[in-house]
């Protein structure tokens, strides 16, 4: 039907438009991150440049200009405002209105090196990776154990306690934030990585829920057969259930890692020395000290964002499945 | 209890023991302490001093910033949550049209939602820059309009944050896409036989079938909006400027506790926030009986 095809094209056009709008900030970020500081703010009345450029110069560093379609070296202006040009080996004098700036494409990598130096980047990266890995490890180990206890062993009071797990997800973090800070400061943990890692070794309700759903879908016969063979409960968990649950475990690893990678509030509260900062905190600190250093700021934002985007492309299926799982069974 | 039941009980409790310990230590104890702190003057360094209802009294009667923060948060929630819902439903419906390169489009809409919030906030500071930001430059060059000062203007700061929140709808889009794939194609065929066009089909088939998913995204959206913090902290240097126009509830709570060291006061704020969130969630769930349609259940 013709109208059907028309609707399809209209939908397609709308999608292309929206997609362009959604991707624009990323392109803008990348573009700015490669711009020389003199080019970040376009001159009044000019279009912003998407491809980074700088003023073109000759081998001796003298600025190049266009004069009547010809390239010429600008030797500077005299007191009357006339520009002396070196064109085809001849020196001529022309009015400023007759010449146009000549530019060339140049990706200004120095924003990245500057940002790295100003931020103690590699130290911050090490801190972030350490916290991410430890917290993720804790989350997966503890949440899968707890989920197994809720999914695969029948015991009295199990379902009532599971309701408590679900209810604890509803509690806003602000309620426990202050007492936890008080406890950690009494323990002397403030200013260390411990508050960012240790709690994750005690099961995270969201992943307990996610893994329990998955474990429940594994046929009971497998456990029964293993029990007859004399396998312990822990053996069933470690050797049968975990290997069969790779998709759900992958979702847990991925989501928890990403959460830690971008987490802001907890590092903000508990890390006090800039040698301990994670990348997210370091970027915020950097931003508050260099508010208009947009080149290095965009370079740093790109560096923090890029691993996330790479992870997405490597694990696209796990992402989409995980989001869907948490959405539809919630 | 038989021997098997006893063994199962022991094993079950053993497996969930990390959670029990964590729940007691990281949830229940802090929860109770938080109630207690909310009735005290407490700065972490010295032990708490009982002050009765003083914190609550001050919040309600002597603190205009508190009311300002509550107003800002409700304003943001009231605009951001519906805008995000409408945009994510719209994009999901467009993506669901069996369009070529659908996964490319899906990726483009999804990516902003997984970017670390600090990075996307810094990026949006630049996008919203009044002079040379992407948005004002586009407004000027495409429409010839002089754009507002966005985050520099007390009237435009919150709309700027609402606009930015719409950029992060990727997760909701993916969830709506899954919801759309559960709509039985037969319903559309019947609607077509009855002569329904695309808008009627959307209004009378798609939307009712999506209501359970809308409910889920609505509740999650409300909970997140009430706790909106990282973006506004990064974009205003933790100050909620200009003139408190972006002083959001969670930001004021953070400032009360870690800037002014008024932990008791902030605990009282946390409980009021919990009550507001709970009331909103319960309200939505109760009302959902009237507008959520469960197909086949």
Phi, psi of A78 (to 5 degrees): -90, -175
Topology of domain A53-105, per CATH? SH3 type barrels. (2.30.30)
Q: What is the mean pLDDT of residues B248-275?
A: 96
Q: Which residue of A has its CA nearest to B231?
A: A264
What are the boundaries of each domain within chain A? Answer: 2-41, 53-105, 112-328
Query: Under an 8 A CB cutoff, do A146 and B127 touch?
Result: no
pLDDT in the model for residue B241: 87
Q: How far is A260 from chain B (nearest CA, A)?
A: 9
Which of 95-114 (A) contact B at CB < 8 A?
Answer: none
Q: What tokens does B89 get?
A: 């439903």
Distance CA A282, CA A240 (A): 43
Closest Cβ–Cβ partner in A164, A261, A320 for B116? A261
Q: How far is A77 from chain B (nearest CA, A)?
A: 30
Distance of CA B264 to the CA centre of its chain: 25
pLDDT in the model for residue A286: 93
Closest Cβ–Cβ partner in A41, A170, A284 for B118? A284
Report the CATH superfamily, name and number, of domain A112-328.
Answer: MetI-like (1.10.3720.10)
Q: Please, what is the Cα angle at B33 between B28 and B35, to 5 degrees?
A: 100
What are the boundaries of each domain within chain B? Answer: 1-31, 68-291
For the stretch B176-207, pLDDT in tens is 999 998 899 999 999 999 988 888 999 999 99
Give me chain B's average pLDDT, please.
Answer: 94
pLDDT in the model for residue B157: 96
Give start and end residues of each alpha helix (H) in A152-172: 158-170
For the stretch A253-303, pLDDT in tens is 999 999 999 999 999 999 999 899 999 999 999 999 998 899 999 999 999
Decide the pairing of beta strands A99-101 and B49-50. Answer: unpaired
The distance between the two most distant Cα atoms of chain A, rounded to a whole number of Å, is 101
Query: Under an 8 A CB cutoff, do A25 and B123 touch?
Result: yes
Decide the pairing of beta strands A103-105 and A53-55. Answer: antiparallel
For the stretch B232-243, pLDDT in tens is 999 999 999 899
Which residue in A157, A179, A147, A206 sits closest to B24, CA to CA?
A: A179
The Cα-based distances of B142 to A47, A85, B43, B131, B147 in angstroms read 11, 37, 53, 15, 12
Q: Is A133 on the interface with B (CB under 8 A)?
A: no
Question: At which residue do the structure tokens 């194609």 appear?
Answer: B185
- How many contacts (CB atoms, under 8 Å) link A and B? 264
pLDDT in the model for residue A44: 67
The H or E element that residue A53 is part of is strand A53-55
Query: Under an 8 A CB cutoff, do B26 and A297 touch?
Result: no
Who has greater pLDDT, B295 or A141?
A141
Question: At which residue do the structure tokens 């915020």 appear?
Answer: A284
Residues of B with Cβ-Cβ distance to A39 under 8 angstroms: none
Query: Under an 8 A CB cutoff, do B122 and A280 touch?
Result: no
Q: Which residues pair with B41 in a beta bridge?
A: B49
Decide if B156 contacts B79 (C-beta within 8 A).
no
Topology of domain B68-291, per CATH? MetI-like fold (1.10.3720)
Q: How confident is the model at residue A329 (pLDDT cuts 50, 70, 90)?
A: very low
Q: How far is A92 from chain B (nearest CA, A)?
A: 37
Q: What is the mean pLDDT of residues B247-266?
A: 96
Distance CA B247, CA B255 (A): 10
The verdict on ipTM greater than 0.85 is yes
For the stretch A60-113, pLDDT in tens is 888 888 888 888 888 888 877 788 888 888 888 888 888 888 888 888 899 999
């Amino acid at each position: 039907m013709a109208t059907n095809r028309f609707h399809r094209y209209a939908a397609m056009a709308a999608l292309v438009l929206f997609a362009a709008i959604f991707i624009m900030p990323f392109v803008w970020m990348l573009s700015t991150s490669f711009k020389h500081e003199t080019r970040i703010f376009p001159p009044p009345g000019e279009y912003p440049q998407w491809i980074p450029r700088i003023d073109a110069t000759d081998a001796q560093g003298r600025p190049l200009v266009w004069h009547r379609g010809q390239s010429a070296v600008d030797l500077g202006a005299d007191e009357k405002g006339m520009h002396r040009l070196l064109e085809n080996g001849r020196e001529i004098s022309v009015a400023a209105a007759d010449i146009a700036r000549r530019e060339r494409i140049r990706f200004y990598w120095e924003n990245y090196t500057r940002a790295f130096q100003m931020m103690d980047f590699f130290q911050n990266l090490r801190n972030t990776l350490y916290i991410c890995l430890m917290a993720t490890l804790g989350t997966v180990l503890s949440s899968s154990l707890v989920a197994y206890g809720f999914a695969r062993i029948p015991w009295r009071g199990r379902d009532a306690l599971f309701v408590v797990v679900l209810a604890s997800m509803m509690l806003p973090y602000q309620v426990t934030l202050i007492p936890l800070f008080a406890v950690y400061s009494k323990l002397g943990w403030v200013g260390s990585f411990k508050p960012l890692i240790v709690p994750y070794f005690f099961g995270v309700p969201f992943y307990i829920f996610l893994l329990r759903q998955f474990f429940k879908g594994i046929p009971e016969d497998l456990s029964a057969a293993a029990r007859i063979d004399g396998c312990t409960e822990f053996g069933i968990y470690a050797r049968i259930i975990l290997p069969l649950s790779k998709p759900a475990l992958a979702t847990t690893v991925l989501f928890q890692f990403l959460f830690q990678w971008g987490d802001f509030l907890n590092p903000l509260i508990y890390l006090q020395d800039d040698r301990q900062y994670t990348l997210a905190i370091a970027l915020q600190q950097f931003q508050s000290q260099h508010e208009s250093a947009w080149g290095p700021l965009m370079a740093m934002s790109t560096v923090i964002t890029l691993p996330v985007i790479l992870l997405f492309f490597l694990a696209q299926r796990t992402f989409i499945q995980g989001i869907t799982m948490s959405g539809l069974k919630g | 209890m038989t021997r098997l039941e006893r063994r199962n009980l022991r094993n079950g409790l053993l497996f969930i023991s990390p959670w029990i310990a964590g729940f007691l230590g990281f949830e229940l104890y802090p929860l109770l302490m938080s109630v207690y702190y909310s009735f005290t003057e407490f700065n972490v360094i010295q032990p708490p001093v009982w002050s009765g209802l003083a914190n609550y009294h001050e919040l309600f009667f002597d603190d205009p910033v508190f009311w300002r923060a509550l107003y800002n948060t409700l304003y943001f929630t009231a605009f951001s949550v519906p805008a995000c819902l409408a945009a994510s439903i719209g994009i999901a419906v467009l993506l669901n049209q069996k369009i070529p390169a659908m996964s490319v489009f899906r990726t483009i809409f999804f990516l902003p939602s997984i970017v670390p919030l600090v990075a996307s906030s810094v990026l949006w500071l630049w996008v919203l820059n009044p002079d040379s930001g992407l948005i004002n430059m586009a407004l000027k060059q495409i429409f010839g309009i002089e754009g507002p000062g966005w985050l520099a203007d007390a009237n435009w700061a919150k709309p700027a944050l609402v606009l930015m929140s719409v950029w992060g709808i990727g997760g909701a889009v993916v969830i709506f896409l899954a919801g759309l794939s559960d709509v039985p194609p037969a319903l559309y065929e019947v609607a077509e036989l009855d002569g329904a066009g695309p808008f009627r089909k959307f209004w009378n088939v798609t939307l009712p079938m999506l209501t359970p998913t809308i409910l889920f995204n609505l509740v999650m959206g409300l909970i997140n909006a009430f706790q909106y913090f990282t973006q506004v902290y990064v974009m205003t240097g933790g100050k909620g400027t200009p003139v408190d126009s972006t002083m959001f509830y969670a930001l004021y709570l953070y400032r009360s506790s870690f800037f002014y060291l008024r932990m008791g006061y902030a605990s009282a704020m946390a409980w009021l926030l919990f009550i507001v969130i709970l009331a909103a969630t319960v309200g939505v769930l109760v009302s959902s009986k009237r507008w959520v349609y469960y197909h086949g259940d």
